[in-house]
Amino acid sequence: MKIASKKINLLLTASALVFVSSQVQAQDLSITVTNLTQGLHFTPIITAAHIDGDHIFMVGSTATAELQAMAEGGDISGLVTMLSNADANTNENPVGGLLAPGMSTTYMLTNGSANTHLSMTAMILPSNDGFVGLDSWKIPTEAGTYTIMLNAYDAGTEANNELINGGGTPGVLGIPAAPSGGSGTGGTGITDIENNTVVHIHRGSIGDDNMDGGPSDLNNSIHRWLNPVAKLTVTIQ
């Protein structure tokens, strides 16, 4: 009887450990994104928990068509489809539009046990193909609050001519808009060539102080930035 009792206790303990392990892996994440810039807006944000080995973007790799559409025009629909097909858990456009300079948004992401890594991205306005992003961050298994500083990246898909012309469709050179205002017109263009055609750290906008011409339509007292451009705070329940 004593031996049988010990076996039962061991089985019950093992079952409890499996149950606890499952609870730890299936996490609810509270996420806060803070725009740290003085004059940049973030377009609709997409955040995803996914399996190890999946990526929204990778530094040093050529941008996918889905990433290009987001980085040049803020269109996250392609990324949403791609992540859905990969069985990722996503939160799409939590702000319901643009995240303004200095502002934060907090939202929940319910995560399945198989999805162990977190990614997030949004286009930066005004820019040609700049975006803020987090690439495949391993989600801790221990409850707590974690802070990650995020850089701005260049998708490498479009030359940084810094001309505001309503562009934004992939293959159409230009910047869709400058929501912060203060931009100029009549620029001749900073460049029409992109030598680095893979995803890389963004150099930042150059801009100028000539609002009626000059090389750039961007205002160098408003639209320039240094990394990091955002803060991501993840609270694991």
Q: How far is CA 73 from the centre of its chain?
A: 14
118 DSSP β-pair partners: 49, 137
What local confidence, expressed as pLDDT, does residue 113 receive?
84
Q: Contact 180/40 with Cβ under 8 angstroms?
A: yes
* Phi, psi of 16, rounded to the nearest 5 degrees: -65, -40
pLDDT given for residue 237 in this prediction? 81
Q: Give the integer Cα–Cα distance in Å for 233 and 35.
A: 12
Task: Report domain extents, the chain.
Answer: 27-236
CB under 8 Å to 45, separation ≥6 — which residues? 33, 91, 92, 93, 94, 95, 99, 105, 120, 121, 122
Looking at residue 25, what is its pLDDT?
52
> What architecture does CATH give domain 27-236?
Sandwich (2.60)
Low-confidence ranges of the chain (pLDDT < 50): 1-24
| Sign of the four-CA dihedral 38, 43, 44, 47 | negative
163, 174 contact by CB (below 8 A):
yes
Task: Provide the pLDDT for residue 87.
Answer: 96
8 Å CB contact between 144 and 235: yes
Return the amino acid letter for 135: D
Return the DSSP state at 175: B
* Eight-class DSSP state of 79: H
pLDDT given at position 9: 42
Question: Phi and psi (nearest 5°) for 28?
Answer: -100, 125
pLDDT at 220: 96
